[in-house]
Amino acid sequence: MSKKIYLYGNWKMNNTYSETEKFFTEFPAAYDAVKADDLEVGIFAPFTSLWPLSQGAKKCGIVFGAQNVYYEPKGAFTGEISIPMLKEYDVTHIILGHSERRHIFLESDEVIAKKTKAVLDAGMIPVLCYGELLEEREAGNTFTVMERQLKSALAGLTPAETAKIIYAYEPVWAIGTGKTATPDQAEEVCKWSRELIGQKNAVILYGGSVKGSNAKELLSMPDIDGALVGGASLKPASFLEIYTAYKG
Ligand code: 13P
Catalytically active residues, by annotation: 98, 170
| CATH number for 128 | 3.20.20.70
Q: What is the Å distance from ligand 1's center to 76 Cα? A: 32
Closest CA to 120 of 150, 164, 167, 81: 164
175 CA closest ligand 1 atom index:
4
Number of domains comprising the chain: 1
Q: What is the Å distance from ligand 1's center to 152 Cα? A: 23
- Range of 59's domain? 5-247
Q: What is the Å distance from ligand 1's center to 242 Cα? A: 13
Sign of CA dihedral 8, 247, 29, 237: positive
Distance from first CA to last CA of the chain, Å, rounded? 16
pTM value surpassing 0.75: yes
Q: Is 209 a pocket residue for ligand 1 (Cβ < 6 Å)?
A: yes
| Tens digits of pLDDT across the chain (248 residues) | 689 999 999 999 999 999 999 999 999 999 999 999 999 999 999 999 999 999 999 999 999 999 999 999 999 999 999 999 999 999 999 999 999 999 999 999 999 999 999 999 999 999 999 999 999 999 999 999 999 999 999 999 999 999 999 999 999 999 988 888 999 999 999 999 999 999 999 999 999 999 999 999 999 999 999 999 999 999 999 999 999 999 99
Contact by Cβ (8 Å): 29, 40? no
